Amino acid sequence: MKPAAFDLARPASLAEACALLATSGDNARAIAGGQSLGPMLNLRLATPALLVPLAPLAELAGAQETATAITLGASVTHAAIADGLVPDLPPGGILAGIAAHIAYRAVRNRGTIGGSLCHADPAADWPCTLSALGAVALTSDATGKQRDIPLDDFLLGAYRTALRPGEILYAVRIPKPGAGARFGYHKSCRKPGEFAHAMAAVLDDPGRGIRRIAIGATGGRLLRAATADAALAALASCGLDLVAQQMQRAALRQALQRAGLA
């Protein structure tokens, strides 16, 4: 199928893009890499009268690094992260390792970290991994009001975020793990690059007194826990069938092992 007809805006700034979204309400949608929204338009699951492209906006581009965090613009693509074109996290370039296994190259070339978080697919890689890393979503609206929203509060459930009408995610801030921290991630897919059927991310950061576990691909809101026992208990009561639970337990075990916790 082809998309229903739509107009294409040409906002010159983040403020202008927010204003277009705020004044057009449900008739407008932001579009970043189009890798999730494009198929929805083609299938007419979304029929906005106006598309507001985010890729040309300077405020959503680039990356910064400080002693304690890196901040990636929402328009940074999976490919740029996989290719090491933006700052990464120790130990061992955590983000590049995640990005390299999202879909395949053509999707990674266009798909963005911000688009992935805003689409909030429960089986996507960034929501699960960045939640375990304690990332914060940075948003702005048409009045210029900015909010820093911890991902645990930003990601409300399957395809649901805390974004308000007219609000745009312009960046994500990811704290740097401390010395001696370990991170483990595992996703289970039938074929490489597919969406996961089970996934878990674990951060053990003794220097900062942090241990975080996130489990995705449950069909709903990410499961979060501070211990393996609590994660297993959450899995047992989240409504998955026994086969799915078994796959999730296996993914969790792998992630825990990689983080040195099993």
Where along the sequence are the contacts to ligand FAD (CB under 6 A)?
A: 29-37, 54, 74, 102-103, 107, 110-112, 114-116, 118-119, 121, 124-126, 163, 168-169, 193-195
User: Do 128 and 199 form a contact (C-beta atoms < 8 A)?
Assistant: yes
Nearer residue to ligand FAD within complex by CB, 188 or 261 = 188
Q: Residue 126 CB, nearest distance to ligand FAD (Å)?
A: 6
Closest by CA position to 201, among listed 179, 177, 167, 180: 177
Q: Can you spell out the DSSP letters for 202-254?
A: EEEEGGGTEEEEEEE-SSSSPEEESSHHHHHHHHHTS---HHHHHHHHHHHHH
Nearer residue to ligand FAD within complex by CB, 23 or 227 = 23
User: Do 175 and 68 form a contact (C-beta atoms < 8 A)?
Assistant: yes
Q: Residue 208 CB, nearest distance to ligand FAD (Å)?
A: 26
Tokens, residue 96:
């590049």
Q: Residue 92 CB, nearest distance to ligand FAD (Å)?
A: 20
Nearer residue to ligand FAD within complex by CB, 54 or 200 = 54
Residue 183 to residues 43, 51, 80, 224, 258, Cα–Cα distance (Å): 38, 38, 21, 15, 7
Q: Residue 118 CB, nearest distance to ligand FAD (Å)?
A: 3
Nearer residue to ligand FAD within complex by CB, 141 or 205 = 141
User: Do 219 and 122 form a contact (C-beta atoms < 8 A)?
Assistant: yes
Nearer residue to ligand FAD within complex by CB, 36 or 228 = 36
Q: Residue 247 CB, nearest distance to ligand FAD (Å)?
A: 16
